[in-house]
Amino acid sequence: MEEFNTISVVGLGYIGLPTAAAFAARKKSVIGVDVNAHAVDTINRGEIHIVEPELDMLVHAAVSQGNLRATTTPEPADAFLIAVPTPFSEGHKPDLAYVEAASRAIAPVLKKGDLVVLESTSPVGATAKMSEWMAEMRPDLSFPQQLGEASDIRVAHCPERVLPGHVIRELVENDRVIGGMTQRCGETARDLYRVFVQGDCILTDARTAEMCKLTENSFRDVNIAFANELSLICDRLDINVWELIKLSNRHPRVDILQPGPGVGGHCIAVDPWFIVDSAPEQARLIRTARTVNDGKPHWVIERVERAAKRFKEPIIACLGLAFKANIDDLRESPAVEIATKLGESFPGQVVAVEPNIRTLPTGQHSSVRLCDLQTALAEADVVVVLVDHKQFKQIDPVRLQAKVVIDTRGLFARS
Question: Can you tell me the distance from the alpha carbon of 268 to that of 8, in angstroms, rounded to the nearest whole number?
Answer: 27
Average confidence score pLDDT of the chain: 95
Residue 326's alpha-carbon distances to 151, 216, 303, 329, 369, in angstroms, are: 45, 23, 25, 9, 20
Please check the confidence at residue 337 and state whether its pLDDT lies above 90. yes
Residue 187 shares a structural domain with residue 51: yes
Over range 17-44, report the average pLDDT.
98
Over range 188-198, report the average pLDDT.
98
Residue 183 shares a structural domain with residue 249: no
Of the candidates 338, 406, 330, 325, the residue with the CA atom closest to the CA atom of residue 367 = 338
pLDDT, position 364 = 55
Residue 399 shares a structural domain with residue 266: yes
pLDDT, position 106 = 98
Question: Can you tell me the distance from the alpha carbon of 268 to that of 228, in angstroms, rounded to the nearest whole number?
Answer: 14
Contacts (Cβ under 8 Å, ≥6 apart) of 153 = 110, 112, 113, 114, 115, 116, 131, 134, 138, 141, 142, 143, 144
% of the chain residues with pLDDT over 90? 88
pLDDT, position 415 = 41
pLDDT digit string, tens, across residues 100-135: 999 999 999 999 999 999 999 999 999 999 999 999
pLDDT digit string, tens, across residues 56-101: 999 999 999 999 999 999 999 999 999 999 998 888 999 999 999 9
Residue 154 shares a structural domain with residue 51: yes
For residue 413, tell me if it sits in a domain. Answer: no
Please check whether residue 172 is in contact with residue 209, taking contact to mean a CB–CB distance below 8 angstroms.
Answer: no
Q: pTM to 2 decimals? A: 0.90
Which of 154, 189, 208 is the C-terminal boundary of a domain? 208
Q: Which residues are catalytic?
A: 213, 267
What total number of domains does the chain contain?
A: 2
**What letter would DSSP give residue 107?**
G
For residue 232, tell me if it sits in a domain. Answer: no
Residue 197 shares a structural domain with residue 284: no
Residue 195 shares a structural domain with residue 306: no
Please check the confidence at residue 392 and state whether its pLDDT lies above 80. yes
**Single-letter amino acid code for the residue at 382:** V
pLDDT, position 78 = 98
Over range 401-411, report the average pLDDT.
94
Please report how the helices 97-106 and 126-137 are oriented relative to each other, as an axis angle in degrees rounded to 10.
40
For residue 202, tell me if it sits in a domain. Answer: yes
Over range 197-214, report the average pLDDT.
98
**Single-letter amino acid code for the residue at 310:** R
Residue 148 shares a structural domain with residue 108: yes
Domain containing 368: what range?
240-407
Residue 163 shares a structural domain with residue 282: no
Question: Can you tell me the distance from the alpha carbon of 327 to that of 41, in angstroms, rounded to the nearest whole number?
Answer: 22
- DSSP letters of 39-106? HHHHHHTT--SS--TTHHHHHHHHHHTTSEEEESS----SEEEE-----EETTTEE--HHHHHHHHHH
Which of 160, 192, 208 is the C-terminal boundary of a domain? 208
- DSSP letters of 200-226? -EEEEEHHHHHHHHHHHHHHHHHHHHH
**Single-letter amino acid code for the residue at 387:** V
For residue 219, tell me if it sits in a domain. Answer: no
For residue 194, tell me if it sits in a domain. Answer: yes
Residue 202 shares a structural domain with residue 250: no
Residue 245 shares a structural domain with residue 159: no
CATH number, position 145: 3.40.50.720
- DSSP letters of 22-36? HHHHTT-EEEEE-S-
